[in-house]
Structures are given as C-alpha cells and as structure tokens.
Chain A
Amino acid sequence: MIRLEGVTRRYRSAAGERVALDSADLHVAKGEVFGVVGRSGAGKSTLIRTINRLETPDAGKVFVDGQEITALNPAELRAARRRIGMIFQHFNLLNAKTIAQNVAFPLRLEGRPEAEVKARTAELLERLGLSEHANKHPAQLSGGQKQRVGIARALACGPGVLLCDEATSALDPETTEEILTLLDGLNRDLGLTIVLITHQMEVVRRVCDRVAVLKDGRIVEQGATADVFLHPQHPVTRAMLAEGEEAFDASVVPAGARLAKLTFRGASTYEPELSRVARSVGVDYSILSGRISRIRGEPYGQLVVAFTGGDAEAAVAQLTARGVSVESVLGEAA
C-alpha cells in the first residue's frame, strides 16, 4: 500500500546541512497498522510527511496505492492527498468553523454537492459520537473530542490510508486509550491502512502490527511488533523499551544463580510452564523482574529469573522445548 524507496531529506540552514531522513526504505501492507518510533529529532515527522508530500524528498521515491507520489504534478498531488487522511498532535482544527464545518471542510474543498456533504458529515459525526457537538466550535471541546473531530475530518473523503502524526502525544493516558481503541476499530472495520509515528512505546505495543525504529534519520530496526519488542536488536530500541521498566537490582541476584530471560507468547503465557519445569528438574527459581501484557492483543510474558539449587541447564532445555524463548542475561552471578 505504501512504499518508500531510498527516501532522503536534507535541511539546509546557516548552520549547515542536516540529514533528517537518510535513504529510508519501508513497506506498509494494505490493512496494516504500522508504527514508526524514535526519539525527538530522529526524523519521524519528516518520514510521515513524505508520504503525502508535505515534505518533498531530496532523493528517493514514495508510492501510495501504486501511485508514485513523488512524481505527481500539483493537481494530481492534491487529488492523491484526498485519498490519504492525516491527523495531528495538535489537531489543527479550524477555530473559526464549527465541528460540522470542520468535518465537511475536505468535502467542500473537493467541491462535492452540498446534499452529499451534509449527509456524509452527519454520518461521520454519528460514527464518532460527535453529533451533539455539531454546532460547537473546537475551543469548546476537550482534547480527546478534538482528536475525534480530526479523525472524522480525515475520513471524510473515504481515504484508504490514515497518517497519524503523534496523534496521542498531547492527550492524557485515558484519552490516548480511547483514541487508540478508535483507530484499532477503524483499521478492523474499514480495513484502513494506518501509519503512526510516536515516541510512546505503549502506543505501538497497543495497536501496531509492525514497527520501524528510527535513529538519526535511519531505520535501524523493523519487524513485527512482538518480535521487535520482545527481542530488540538495536541499542536504541532496547533503551526506549527499558524506559519506565523496573530494572532488577544486581545485588539481589542469589550467589551461583543462572540468570535467564524467558519470553512466553500466545496462550502459553497463562500456562504454569515455569513451575512445571522447575518441579520436574528440581530447580528453584526466583523472579527478578517481569511483565505480563499484550502486544496488539497477543498476550506475552517476559520474566528475568534466577535458577538456583539444581540443574539450571536442564531447566533451560525443557523450557525451550516447550516453546519458551530463553535468552542469557548479561552478568551471570558469580
């Protein structure tokens, strides 16, 4: 659905040249929710803006739905943009217009017949639970409501793609969850392809099928969200995932213990695998840190355990045989 080939964007200023995006290659399949994460200044914003050419790349090609966006003339580009919805961190609603006028805005820009504009606007307001706010102005709405107006507006022309530029970064956790549920539903119900950029790992964990990690304008890692999140390869990914997690204190590691990071995925997450193995091998274990959660709805558990007082290697072998991924953890206790 969306393909970036060697997309590069440089910014020139008095201070010299800065590469915001360095030959980025990306492929987003139809109906997928694709996340791009990175720290601020990593080039996320530039990347998502090249998809509808709010940023014109200095090199490389961008394709959306088979159309080469980077090769379009201005009129063709405007037509293509109507098939690509976009929502923003600060919503970017028109303060002078009512909620209904905001939602109708892209349809009016396109010059659709007024009767169609009215009907489509009413339908979108209804779908997003905004009907009662139709005649209010954006200033009278909460952040979550404003973002819903943004989504309704982005969907007005019936796009196949929705670009989300830090769409939840200005919202509180509860409202973020509400908006993510909404995006998830749109993806499932309408088959909408969604590209979102964010610095919030929770957002990716919650809704993204696949994820790419950006650092200094380069994509350093990409893959299925569960793979990238449970087995991060690049230091930046690890660092971003480690934030907000409780790292275990090395001083509590029992002497002579064998440390292992166990990753359970899918249904096995809720099975007493660890306990069964420990009993059959006759090993003790203590859990040093852990998390049981879901990635895009799929349950997983990740534990750092210390095996003591028995054949730790046998336990590792049995766990592996039962489909639990076992990784060594640095600094086995002496």
Chain B
Amino acid sequence: MFDNVDWSEIGRATVDTLLMLGGSLVLTVILGVPLGVLLYLSGKGRLAANPVLNAVLSFVVNVLRSVPFIILLIVMLPVTVLLVGTSLGVAGAIPPLVVGAAPFYARLVETALREVDKGVVEATQAMGGSTFQIVTRALLPEALPGVIAGATVTAIALVSYTAMAGVVGAGGLGDLAVRFGYQRFQTDVMVVTVVLLLVLVQILQMIGDRVVAAVSHR
C-alpha cells in the first residue's frame, strides 16, 4: 500500500494548499466585506440607495460568479503576472482565487446584512448615528454570525478552487492528485490527497461552526 506516496512531497503540497487557502481567504474577506456592504447599502430602500451603483456592482459580481473557475484561472493569467510577477506557485494562484471567491463572499455578506432587523438600523439612526457608524457599530456586529458562516462556506469553496488551480501550475494537493493520481494512475496518491482535502474541509466547517456559535446571542 501507498508505495508511490512520497510523504515529504505530500507535506509540501499540503503546506502549499494551506498557504493558498489562507492567503486567498484573508484577501477575499478584505475585499468581500466592503463589497457586500456596498451591495447592501446601495440596494433599494437602504441607507445609501443608489440604483445605478447597485446595478453596476450586481452585474460585475454576477459575471464573475458565472464564469467557471477553471476558465477564470486561464483568463486571469496576464492579470496575475501583472499583479504578482508570476502565474505559477502559491503567489500565482492567489489573484484568481480571490477574484473567484470575493464576489461570492460579497453576496453572502449582503445576505447576512439583509437579515439584520431594520429596526436596529432605525434605532441607531434615531440615536444620531452616521451611516459609517451604523455599518461598523450596528450592522456588521449584528450580522457577524452570518458573515462568519459565509466565510466558512467561502473557505470550503476555496479548497476546491485551490485543487483546480493546481492544474495551471499552482502546486498543492490538487496538483499532486492530477499529476500522480490521475496522469500516472497512482491511485494511492489520489486517495491520500482526497482524504487530506476531506479532513481539511471538515476542520474548516468545525472551526466555522464553533466561532458562529460563540458570537451568536439570539
């Protein structure tokens, strides 16, 4: 069993996957939260209702979300080189991962904000809160469980995206699975990588659920 498995190779690939996941998740949250807030605020009947801005943001988000990730990887190649100087390795994988995941996450953030009772917004307005204060001190704290649950879902989607990024030279567990497990018929390598990805997803879900439970006060 596991004759073909080079455990140090597996270790390196796991670290690469974790780096890609960590880096892209952080950037996705940094971009996705403000984008989600803008989508929410510019929506009909909201604090900064702006049909034009909302339509434009919505369109861009929908376009990016409807491009299959494998296509986005290839389309993004020149942009990636421009941004990080290479299209290979962990660094080369992060821009397409973020562009693929941030719009998805922004929608989840928008949904979480919509779930906040509008009475809370009204009360904060009545207390003399500015729009910025309403967002940062009332809306986001109230929506935190949803924002974190959304980050969990996004992180898990990113795990499968990192596996795909492996195909265009990003490295990581997905790359191993394709190069050895698929192209060289090394089923044992395939099994090990799949099990590791599965464990990773389970851990992410567990952490996400625990954090959500800790910040929920309903």
Residues of A within 8 A of B (CB): 52, 54, 74, 78-82, 84, 86, 88, 90-97, 105-106, 108-110, 137-139, 153, 157, 163
B89 interfacial by beta-carbon distance below 8 Å = no
Chain B min CB distance to A286 (Å): 51
Q: Which one of B123-131, B158-166, B168-176 is at the A interface?
A: B123-131
Contact of B128 among A82, A91, A92, A94 (CB under 8 A): A82
How far, in whole Å, are A109 and B217 apart by their CA atoms in the complex?
22
B138 touches A86 (CB 8 A): no
Per the 8 Å Cβ criterion, residues 121-169 of B in contact with A are 122-130, 133, 137-138, 141-142, 144
Chain B min CB distance to A145 (Å): 15
Residue of B nearest to A86 (CB): B126
Which residues does chain A contribute within 8 Å of B127, judged by CB atoms?
81-82, 105-106, 109, 153, 157
Given contacts A86-B123, A88-B119, A90-B119, contact A96 B128 (CB under 8 A): no
A84 touches B117 (CB 8 A): no
Which residues does chain A contribute within 8 Å of B218, judged by CB atoms?
95, 139
B142 touches A88 (CB 8 A): no
Contact of A96 among B122, B125, B130, B142 (CB under 8 A): B142
A109 touches B128 (CB 8 A): yes
Residues of B within 8 A of A (CB): 117, 119-120, 122-130, 133, 137-138, 141-142, 144, 215, 217-218
B141 touches A81 (CB 8 A): no
Contact of B141 among A54, A74, A91, A97 (CB under 8 A): A97
Task: Across the A-B interface, give the 7 residue pairs with the lowest CB-CB distance, nearest first.
Answer: A92-B119, A92-B123, A137-B217, A81-B128, A106-B127, A82-B128, A78-B128
Which residues does chain B contribute within 8 Å of A95, judged by CB atoms?
142, 217-218
Contact of B217 among A74, A80, A96, A106 (CB under 8 A): A96
Which residues does chain B contribute within 8 Å of A153, judged by CB atoms?
123, 127
Chain A min CB distance to B112 (Å): 12
B137 touches A109 (CB 8 A): yes
How far, in whole Å, are A90 and B122 apart by their CA atoms in the complex?
12
How far, in whole Å, are A81 and B130 apart by their CA atoms in the complex?
11
Which residues does chain A contribute within 8 Å of B130, judged by CB atoms?
74, 78
How far, in whole Å, are A78 and B191 apart by their CA atoms in the complex?
61
Chain A min CB distance to B117 (Å): 7
Residue of B nearest to A163 (CB): B126
Q: Could you show 6 A-B contacts with beta carbons less than 8 Å apart?
A: A54-B126, A78-B130, A93-B120, A94-B120, A95-B218, A96-B215
How far, in whole Å, are A86 and B119 apart by their CA atoms in the complex?
12
Given contacts A95-B142, A109-B133, A153-B127, 14 further A-B pairs with CB under 8 A are: A54-B122, A54-B126, A78-B130, A81-B125, A81-B128, A82-B128, A84-B126, A86-B126, A88-B119, A90-B119, A109-B128, A109-B129, A110-B128, A137-B217
How far, in whole Å, are A90 and B142 apart by their CA atoms in the complex?
16
Which residues does chain B contribute within 8 Å of A110, judged by CB atoms?
128
Given contacts A96-B217, A105-B137, contact A79 B117 (CB under 8 A): no
Which residues does chain B contribute within 8 Å of A163, judged by CB atoms?
126
Chain A min CB distance to B188 (Å): 48
